[in-house]
Copies of this chain bind each other. A is one copy, B any other.
């Protein structure tokens, strides 16, 4: 079973790295780019025999405790069949 975890900065947190990318793209002839925010993305392979419910519960805990910083980041977990 495979799970995807997306970690992004909270909307209220400034993202200077994303802002720099947006400015660079604007300067490279892409004026249509209004803003960019960068996040992290994890593809997690789970051992066979893990149930979907176990996976969802465990990954929620892992995303909150290890993969993201709850003070400034939020996360989304997707379990892919």
Contact = CB atoms under 8 A, between A and B. Distances in A.
A44 B33 contact: yes
A36 B44 contact: yes
A72 interface: no
A46 interface: yes
Interface residues of A, number: 33
Contact of A32 (B28, B41, B54): B54
A12 interface: no
A38 interface: yes
A25 B62 contact: yes
Interface of A: 6-8, 18, 21, 24-25, 28, 30-47, 50, 54-55, 58, 62, 66-67
